[in-house]
Amino acid sequence: MAVFSGDWIGLAPAWLCWLVPFAGALIVLALGKISRKAMESIGAASVAASAALALVMATWIPGADFPIRLTAPWVELAGSSGDLPFPAIAFGILVDPVSIILANVVAAVGALIMVYSIRYMGEEPSTTRFWFLMDAFVGSMLFLVMSDNLVQMLFGWEGVGLCSYALIGYWYRDSKDPKSWLTTWVGEGNESYPPSHAGMKAFLMTRFGDVLMIAGVILLALSTGSFSFLEIAGRVGSGGSHPLLLPASVLILFGAIGKSAQLPLMEWLPDAMTGPAPVSALIHAATMVKAGVYLVARVFPIFYIAAAADPGLIRFFEIAAWVGAATAFVSATQAAVSTELKKVLAYSTVSQIGYMMLAMGVAGTMAEFYIGYAGGIFHLMSHAVFKAALFLAAGAVIHATGSRFMHHMGGLRKRMPLTFLGVLIPSLSLMGVPILFSGFWSKDMILEAVLESGNLPLLAVSLATVSITCFYTVRMVGKVFFGSPSAPAAAAVNGGGADGHHAGDPSPLMSLPVLALSAATIAMGALGVYEREWLARLLGGYIGSLVGVHGEIHLGDPAAQIMVSGASLAFIVIGAVPAYLIYVRGMRIPTWRPLRSIGSFFANRWYINRAYYALFVYPVFRLGGWIADRVEEGALRSAERSAQSSLLWIVGRLKKTHTGGLNENLIAALAGMILLVAMLLLVVVP
């Protein structure tokens, strides 16, 4: 392992890639009231510069001796050998294949989203807050990815949480009265809440996971005597008893579950669609929701090594796998009946992240871990590209029709051909259609890992999710772009849509990022077989060096690969064909009562969201109302009476000093001057 403690110039891209967006955020604040165009240019350019720096780091992959640690002892805190009773914490940057890949995904996709935002947010009256938060968010996410230790990572972790809270509630001028949103149910059974509430919901639900995660980090540090990822892995591998590792692993996993919106903390993300489309694309496709997957990938070597000595720690990976599979299935069923365009994509995001968690989980239960590990990272890359394209295209559709509901759309294929292409290509990748789309290769790599793990129930759930994914994707494309235009869509076509404009493709600044992302998912698909092998060998060799597993990397049994591809294709057909016949061809089907009941159950989000509100939200507000009515108002009345009597007493005494005589006034002025001089002497004289 190469450790650099002073070569800051040689490894400048590793720390500048996250520092530049923060600098851009500060410049945005300075330029906000001077020049809007300069502010927008700096906001987008800072993230583009970060993408260029991340690309420079990618050139290090072929020849570098990973991992590389860039440490700064000048900000190091004393460890257990010093005066402070906790392990040493030093500022550090960790450069390895995992951090480089994630940094490139975050910065490159983020740069395209920022370009799209220039035009999308162009009609907003004031966007200084938007550009500041977007730059700060990218900087926080890159800081998280490049961090060398758990404590430092937590700063980036909380930074993205704070920025996401503010961006989800960006359009915050809504009703703050709980009675208004607690009784508002919009969209055929789908609960919808105003932006301020959605932002607070995301903040609180992710904070719950974060609190558990911090407890896990403390237990891990107490058990191993370090916060550094590499040092913890080394100390666990050197032997000894670490009884706190199992509870630490479960608590840390809850932090990943909260941030990546997995069961049982998944309900915040569908409601987070109240923010602008660029926010949804950046936070809920390319960056923040991937933080939980990244955390599992980062601590993977620690618990993989520990599980070799203590088989009980295999539960960390088993829990991650089952949480991922269950989340993928449940959220896919919710997407299949959702009426809002961006909510379909939000449920889809939760589902696809479930696949990534599944991949990391099954990888930890296998000797040939690299198939699942590389598959999870591959799907993270692939999903970030095609889902960002879908969210940006959805923003263009919503802007054109003036509605977020799909039943207000329809027949837009000919009026918005570029947008249609920008939805169709990423949708085919999301479905995993062979062979030219990245989603096919990354999804099948995960399914192959599940098959080789021997866990057939997990495989069955995963394949069922493939069918549901294809169903809701074709349904979404059909309802938006095919069939007869709905009244709002027809009005938009005739010039009566949003802002009185004709429905059509947006400006090049909005269309080009969508098309670039769509082209990227095809390019990744065309290179899929090589990318699959490259990632498996790169990540397998690197993680293997950390966990002490050496030897030739086998990319799986060819027969298993053929079996997985065949089964995947069959389940694609099972899900896509009915949706095509119903939502594209317009075939009418009988509405069976059991089918309506199942659809209603899915539309009500499996009643998970309502259960949370019934158990936690409503009781808190009722208690708050009772306290306000019975306690606070009584205390206020008592305080008012007390304050009134005290004020009258003070006024009465002060009245006696206002005699109007010159002598009394001079004495009072002199006393004030003496008091002022005394105060100055106390401050100035040491």
Predicted confidence (pLDDT) per residue in 529-564, tens digit: 899 999 999 999 999 999 988 877 877 678 888 899
Q: Which of 427, 470, 284, 445 is nearest to 377 (CA)?
A: 445
Q: What is the largest CA-CA distance in the chain?
A: 107
Question: What pLDDT, on a 0 to 100 scale, did the predictor assign at position 478?
Answer: 96
Rounded to 5 degrees, what angle do the CA atoms 589, 421, 401 make?
70
Which residue is it, tokens 């237990």? 219
| CA gap 499, 501 in Å, rounded | 6
Q: Using alpha carbons, list the distances in angstroms from residue 626 to 176, 197, 613, 634.
A: 18, 21, 18, 12
How many Cβ atoms sit within 10 Å of the Cβ of residue 122? 13
Region 401-427 average pLDDT = 92
Residue 77: what are its φ and ψ, rounded to 5°? -95, 150
Task: Find out whether the peptide bond into 417 is cis, omega within 30 degrees of 0.
Answer: no
Q: Which of 12-21, 275-284, 600-609 has the highest mean pLDDT?
A: 12-21
Greater model confidence, 653 or 220: 220
Per-residue pLDDT at 658 exceeds 60: no
Q: Under a CB-based contact definition with an 8 Å cutoff, are residues 252 and 313 in contact?
A: no
Tokens of 311: 């088989």
Q: Under a CB-based contact definition with an 8 Å cutoff, are residues 457 and 374 in contact?
A: no
Strand partners, 3: 69
Q: Which of 263, 262, 364 is nearest to 313 (CA)?
A: 364
Question: What pLDDT, on a 0 to 100 scale, did the predictor assign at position 505?
Answer: 86
Q: Which of 264, 273, 251 is nearest to 164 (CA)?
A: 273
Task: Work out the pLDDT band at 319, boundaries 50, 70, 90.
Answer: very high
Per-residue pLDDT at 623 exceeds 80: no
b/e 189-213 (16+ beta carbons within 10 angstroms → b): bbbbbbbbbbbebbbebbeebbebb
Strand partners, 310: none
Tokens of 79: 């460890």
Q: Under a CB-based contact definition with an 8 Å cutoff, are residues 481 and 398 in contact?
A: no
Per DSSP, 313 falls in state G
Helix (H, G, I), strand (E, B) or coil at 68: strand
How many Cβ atoms sit within 10 Å of the Cβ of residue 121? 18
DSSP line for 150-219: HHHHHHHHHHHHHHHHHHHTSS--S---HHHHHT---STT-----HHHHHHHHHHHHHHHHHHHHHHHHH
Question: What pLDDT, on a 0 to 100 scale, did the predictor assign at position 671?
Answer: 63
Predicted confidence (pLDDT) per residue in 24-73, tens digit: 999 999 988 888 899 999 999 999 999 999 999 999 999 888 999 888 76
Predicted confidence (pLDDT) per residue in 118-153, tens digit: 999 988 888 999 999 999 999 999 999 999 999 999
Task: Find out whether the peptide bond into 562 is cis, omega within 30 degrees of 0.
Answer: no
Task: Work out the pLDDT band at 194, boundaries 50, 70, 90.
Answer: confident
Q: What is the 3-state secondary structure (H, E, C) of 594-624?
A: HHHHHHHHHHCHHHHHHHHHHHHHHHHHHHH
Rg of the Cα atoms in the chain:
28
Question: What pLDDT, on a 0 to 100 scale, did the predictor assign at position 1?
Answer: 43
Contacts of 191 by beta carbon, 8 Å cutoff, 6+ apart: 185, 271, 605, 609, 610
Question: What pLDDT, on a 0 to 100 scale, did the predictor assign at position 630?
Answer: 64
Residue 126: what are its φ and ψ, rounded to 5°? -145, 120
Which residue is it, tokens 């699959």? 532
Tokens of 396: 């263009």
Per-residue pLDDT at 503 exceeds 80: no
Question: What pLDDT, on a 0 to 100 scale, did the predictor assign at position 7?
Answer: 73
Per-residue pLDDT at 409 exceeds 60: yes
Region 300-322 average pLDDT = 93
Sheet holding 89-95, edge to edge: 2-4, 68-77, 89-95
Question: What pLDDT, on a 0 to 100 scale, did the predictor assign at position 37?
Answer: 92
Q: What's the mean per-residue pLDDT of the chain?
A: 85
Per-residue pLDDT at 502 exceeds 90: no
Q: Under a CB-based contact definition with an 8 Å cutoff, are residues 194 and 235 in contact?
A: no
Q: Under a CB-based contact definition with an 8 Å cutoff, are residues 446 and 355 in contact?
A: yes
Greater model confidence, 183 or 168: 168
CA dihedral angle for residue 440, residue 442, residue 443, residue 444, rounded to 10 degrees: 80
Helix axes 291-309, 370-401, angle to 10 degrees: 160
Rounded to two decimals, what is the model's pTM? 0.87
Per-residue pLDDT at 328 exceeds 90: yes
Region 572-595 average pLDDT = 89
Q: Which of 267-276, 319-328, 487-496 has the highest mean pLDDT?
A: 319-328
How many Cβ atoms sit within 10 Å of the Cβ of residue 32? 17
Question: What pLDDT, on a 0 to 100 scale, did the predictor assign at position 686?
Answer: 43
Q: Under a CB-based contact definition with an 8 Å cutoff, are residues 397 and 419 in contact?
A: yes
Q: Which of 292, 454, 446 is nearest to 373 (CA)?
A: 446
Tokens of 535: 């990632």
Helix (H, G, I), strand (E, B) or coil at 640: helix
| CA gap 389, 513 in Å, rounded | 8
Per DSSP, 482 falls in state S
| CA gap 435, 428 in Å, rounded | 10
Q: Under a CB-based contact definition with an 8 Å cutoff, are residues 508 and 525 in contact?
A: no
Predicted confidence (pLDDT) per residue in 353-398, tens digit: 999 999 999 999 998 899 999 999 999 999 999 999 999 999 999 9
Task: Work out the pLDDT band at 81, boundaries 50, 70, 90.
Answer: very low
Tokens of 277: 């489309």
Question: What pLDDT, on a 0 to 100 scale, did the predictor assign at position 657?
Answer: 55
